[in-house]
């Protein structure tokens, strides 16, 4: 399972309250592929030194304000902390 699949599962994808990439994309003015890139990058950089959102923006080439908007849609910095803990429980280094 890839990191994006883990993120979707951990954030409840598939259920009525699940992660809907198309909905998030429309809310922040991006397409679903860009949202996927951002989520993958956020998961990758969570727990590393530096600003997670800024690192994700640099890695994807997507402006920081849109990365922050996606982050807000998934629950903010707190969601990233929870995600990091959960991914760590799956044997991932974050």
Give 17-45 pLDDT, tens digit per residue. Answer: 557 888 999 999 999 999 989 988 988 88
Mean pLDDT of 33-61: 91
Q: Model pTM?
A: 0.73
What integer pLDDT is reported at residue 92 of this predicted model? Answer: 45
What integer pLDDT is reported at residue 3 of this predicted model? Answer: 57
- In percent, the amount of the chain with pLDDT more than 70 equals 66
User: Are 22 and 8 within 8 A, CB to CB?
Assistant: no
What integer pLDDT is reported at residue 61 of this predicted model? Answer: 98
What number of other Cβ atoms are within 10 A of residue 21's Cβ? 19
Domain ranges of the chain: 3-7+18-89
């Amino acid at each position: 399972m890839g990191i994006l699949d883990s993120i979707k599962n951990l954030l409840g994808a598939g259920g009525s309250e699940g992660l809907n990439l198309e909905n998030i994309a429309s809310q922040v003015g991006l397409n679903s592929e860009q949202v996927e890139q951002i989520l993958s990058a956020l998961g990758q950089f969570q727990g590393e030194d530096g600003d997670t959102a800024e690192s994700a923006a640099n890695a994807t080439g997507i402006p920081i304000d849109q990365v922050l908007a996606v982050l807000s849609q998934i629950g903010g910095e707190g969601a990233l902390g929870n995600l990091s803990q959960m991914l760590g429980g799956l044997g991932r280094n974050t």
